[in-house]
Amino acid sequence: MKRIKTDICVIGAGSGGLSVAAGAVQMGAEVVLLEGHKMGGDCLNFGCVPSKALLAAGKHAHAMGTGRPFGVTPVLPEVSYGAAKDHVHRVIETIEPVDSQERFEGLGVKVIREFGRFISESEVQAGDTVITARRFVIATGSGPFVPPIPGLADVPYLTNETLFDLREQPGHLLIIGGGPIGLEMAQAHRRLGSEVAVIEGEKALGKDDPEIAAIALERLRAEGIVIEEGTKAARVSGEAGAITVEAEDGRRFTGTHLLVAVGRKVNVENLGLEAAGVDYTRQGVTVGPDLRSSNRRVYAIGDVAGGFQFTHVAGYHAGVIIRSILFGLPSKARTDHIPWATYTDPEIAQVGQTEAQARAAHGDALTVVRFPFEENDRAIAEGRTTGLIKVMVVKGRPVGASIVGTQAGDLIGVWSLAIANKLKMSAVANMIAPYPTLGEVNKRAAGAYFSPKLFENPTVKKVVGFVQKYLP
**CA–CA dist 427, 416 (Å, integer):** 13
Q: Which residues contact 147 (CB under 8 A, 6 or more apart)?
A: 176, 233, 260, 262
| DSSP structure string for 33-64 | EE-SS-TTHHHHHTSHHHHHHHHHHHHHHHHH
- The answer to whether 141 is a known ligand-binding residue is yes
- The answer on whether 439 is annotated among ligand-binding residues is no
Identify residue 49 by its one-letter amino acid code.
V
- Tell me the three state secondary structure of residue 434: coil
Q: Is 180 annotated as a binding residue?
A: yes
Is residue 179 marked as binding?
yes
Q: Cα–chain-centroid distance for residue 120?
A: 34
142 in a known ligand binding site: yes
Q: Does residue 303 have a known ligand-binding role?
A: yes
225 in Cβ contact with 141 (< 8 Å): no
Decide if 122 contacts 132 (C-beta within 8 A): yes
184 is in an annotated binding site: yes
Q: Is 182 annotated as a binding residue?
A: yes
Q: How far is CA 79 from CA 59, 64, 315, 446, in A?
A: 12, 11, 36, 43
Q: Label residue 272 left, alpha or beta by phi (over 0 means left) and psi (-120 to 50 means alpha).
A: left
Runs of H (alpha helix) within 100-240: 101-107, 160-163, 180-191, 210-222
Q: According to the annotation, is 263 in a ligand binding site?
A: yes
- DSSP, collapsed to helix, strand or coil, labels residue 322 as helix
Going by the annotation, the residues of the binding site are 52, 116, 140-142, 177-184, 200, 263, 303
Going by the annotation, the residues of the binding site for FAD are 52, 116, 140-142, 303
Going by the annotation, the residues of the binding site for NAD(+) are 177-184, 200, 263
